[in-house]
Chain A
């Protein structure tokens, strides 16, 4: 099947932080309330080229600075950092930003990733590894697969694969580490909203600072809190203890996963432990909690949500 036909007629909703030429891209912010995208994000262009039909813009928290949209019964996939171009994705935390795919089935995710993945000259962090047809792996035999779970993890039983215990000792620092690094990168990325180049501009009177006034009026409370936090992390008096140390912890977390993957093919964790995955850029499929909401899963200490992490 040619790439042009792969998604012919398939309706796709894109989030409000992906550029789509001629359409508004607001990031749910007053700062961009009237912003019309001047170009189309690489991932969106690839969807259009494959015949997909963009039907809606999905709402999100302002600049994705807080809140997570519920998955319901859907699956969410985050590709390996660098697998999908970030060109045209409004930057949040640049070392972690990824174009995600949410869909009802693993098959739909595999199809979309085959379409939007790949090297992009407009994003130098993209991998030049060839993009396989992911759908062909969906029915691969997982016999002999080893699934890694934490020592004190909820139970998981399957006859299809072997369960092995793994240890991720630096996991306990992941949330703090993620929060510090993402705030720092977010605050740096938000600097471009200055009331001069594009987006909202306040009316500044004599003696007033146009940029400071624009940012005070244009950003919502959660964005401001995250900017202030980033400023705190990057300030000269805290930089070493906050930012540099967090990057060092991040390296340790990545080492943890590298060691764990010597014992297993995939790792299954509760969805609540997601910060470490953001920090490592590893590919992951998350299930919505609705999948395993039955009482049985609580009673028998089974996973109620899953994230399956690859290498």
Chain B
């Protein structure tokens, strides 16, 4: 992985078609350091087996929104404000 210095940030900016004249390169550098932390974090996840992850796979498991509705109605019902309905909340939870 590259060292995240000023030159590297400028290289990325050129790739992203972003003019960096007068830009807050320090803020971008800090942001990339955070992103490097995210990469480090997921590197610890075991993804060795049974992986079938095509890029951009954002599909749901099985569309069925019915159950959350029934549960929502029971658990939180119609609570427009906390104070007015606290009695109902206490009764249910």
* Interface residues, chain A, with chain B CB atoms under 8 Å away: 73-75, 79-83, 94-96, 104-107, 109-110, 113, 125, 127, 129, 132, 134, 137-140, 142, 145, 147, 156-158, 160-161, 170, 173, 175-177, 179-180, 183, 185, 187, 191, 194, 209, 211-213, 215-216, 219, 221, 224-225, 227-233, 235, 237-238, 241-252, 254-255, 257-258, 261, 265-266, 268, 279-285, 287, 290-294, 296, 302-303, 306, 308-311
Contacts and interface: CB of A to CB of B under 8 A. Distances in A.
Given A231-B12, A309-B68, A249 B56 contact: no
Given A82-B63, A250-B57, A110 B69 contact: yes
Q: Which 9 A-B pairs have the closest CB atoms?
A: A95-B58, A216-B19, A176-B38, A251-B53, A310-B68, A281-B60, A248-B47, A212-B19, A105-B78
Contact of B16 (A106, A127, A221, A227): A227
A249 B69 CA distance: 29
Contact of A185 (B43, B56, B79): B56
Contact of A241 (B18, B39, B82): B39
A170 B67 CA distance: 24
Contacts of B7: none
A179 B70 contact: no
Interface string B28-49: 1001100101110111111100
A127 B62 CA distance: 10
Interface of B: 1-2, 9, 12-21, 23-24, 27-28, 31-32, 35, 37-39, 41-47, 50-82, 85-86, 89-90, 92-93
A248 B13 CA distance: 27
Contacts of B43: 241, 245
B34 to A, nearest CB: 8
Given A158-B93, A221-B24, A227-B18, A106 B73 contact: yes
A282 B93 contact: no
A212 B31 contact: no
Contacts of A309: 68
Contact of A228 (B18, B41, B74, B79): B18
A269 to B, nearest CB: 12
A176 B46 CA distance: 15
A268 B58 CA distance: 21
B71 A83 contact: no
A125 B74 CA distance: 31
A251 to B, nearest CB: 4
Contacts of B20: 216
A209 B17 CA distance: 9
A42 B72 CA distance: 27
Contacts of B23: 216, 224
B63 A80 contact: yes
Contact of A216 (B21, B52, B79): B21
B25 to A, nearest CB: 10
Nearest to A243: B55
A142 B74 CA distance: 8
Contact of B81 (A156, A224, A290): A290
Nearest to A224: B18
B79 to A, nearest CB: 5
Contacts of A265: 67, 71
Given A107-B78, A145-B71, A290-B82, A238 B47 contact: no
6 contacts: A74-B80, A106-B69, A145-B71, A215-B19, A238-B1, A238-B2
A237 B70 contact: no
Residue picked from A110, A139, A219, A232, most chain B C-beta under 10 Å: A232
